[in-house]
A and B are shown apart, each in its own frame.
Chain A
Amino acid sequence: MATVAAVIASTHHPFYYRASTATGHDRPPFADEWVAKIESFRQTLTRARPDVLVMVGSDHFHQLWLDNMPQFLVGKAPFYDANFYNEEREFGLPRMLLRGHEELSGYLLRHGLEAGFDLAFSNELRIDHSITCPVITLRPEADLPIVPVYTNIFAPPMPQPRRFVQLGQAIRKLVESWPSDQRVAIIGTGHLSLELGGPRQFGPHGPDPEFDRKAVEWIASADLESALAEVSLDSLWEPGNATHGFMDFMLMMGVAGENVKADYTDSLDLFHTMEAYFTWYPKGAA
């Protein structure tokens, strides 16, 4: 059976690429500290020696649109072109081409049905910065095949937080039952408190530092009971109008396993939002 070599959850900040590559006058004052944290975080994936990456993210109204909106979708294609014109324009993100892992995509789709998840699929998916940001931060060589998993954290009505957790638990079981000798890293990105297009956007910190403090604690200890007790579709508007991205962190807590402490935790208080990085090494993954 396949080995889950690492479980990794992080924020995805689209400005990292530009900040980390800028030089001289253009380089922001916080860039060096940010790069150092990312390079340390990257080691946690490198150390796991993965062969394939399951990448959980969320399309930001790029290919998926309101005339046909899936709640959870798995890409199944040999390749994924990546990043869109408006991400190039606003964030300076490069166009990328990533290889897919069709066999593992197919396995998740077919056996997901048995696990109670009727997942939507796409055979031609262009992926956006929710997946390319962690490729850039964690595996800049972009040399490993991926299985993209998209969740709807963007267009209400969205699935319940509990459903994200259940999907994470199902993905973990499915990967562990995949008949293969490959080492799989499961990586997902979301947000802590975040406001976009509202009065609390682009402040000196995230819009709700108290939520961020609690959220980092919940994630670092995979404290699903506390997170599920406090978080609902309605409550997530309060820390910031784009905070439903926290549900992708809840999915990753489901992947990591309830109450399993992260082996690596780090965070960085940036303008506009807090960055946070977590890695778990499942037992027997060495």
Chain B
Amino acid sequence: MSKYLLNKFLYTIDRSPELVERYRSDPQGTVAWWETEQANRILNCHNCESSTWLAFTGPEREALAAHDYVTLFELGAHPFLTLTLFIALFERDYEEPLAFQREYATRLSHWTLPYPDIAT
């Protein structure tokens, strides 16, 4: 399990307007590209210096490719990162203010404390 890498995906997509749109329109392709090209980039290092060991597990890859924020919550992705990115992806499809955020809460309503551990 790689909570860190899930978070790194959410973090790097969220900070780029272009990648937000790409992930919205082509989630599977974006996840595949990102895992191949970006997952091992050390963000604050020169591009020639990368890690060699980072990869998603099957369920992590599937959850990201399905825009499945409920499973991301259950896998221990950082809830702030998931929420922020998914608001950017889908809030625009809802007419009422905060309607997407409320639906998001409802879809997680089977959860009581303790929530999944988010420590990385």
Contact = CB atoms under 8 A, between A and B. Distances in A.
B66 interface: no
Interface residues of B, number: 36
Interface string A39-64: 00000000000000000000011100
B43 interface: yes
A196 B80 contact: yes
Contacts of B87: 90
A85 B15 contact: yes
B79 A196 contact: yes
B79 A67 contact: no
Contact of B14 (A86, A202, A203, A242): A86
A61 B81 contact: yes
Interface string A58-81: 001110011110000000000000
Interface residues of A, number: 29
A90 to B, nearest CB: 6
27 contacts: A61-B80, A65-B43, A66-B7, A67-B44, A86-B15, A86-B84, A86-B88, A90-B87, A90-B88, A155-B78, A156-B118, A197-B73, A197-B83, A198-B79, A198-B111, A199-B106, A199-B108, A199-B109, A201-B83, A201-B101, A201-B105, A203-B105, A238-B113, A241-B79, A241-B115, A242-B80, A271-B98
Interface of B: 4, 7-8, 11, 14-15, 17, 42-44, 73, 78-84, 87-88, 98, 101-102, 104-106, 108-111, 113-115, 118-120
Interface of A: 60-62, 65-68, 84-86, 89-90, 154-157, 196-203, 237-238, 241-242, 271
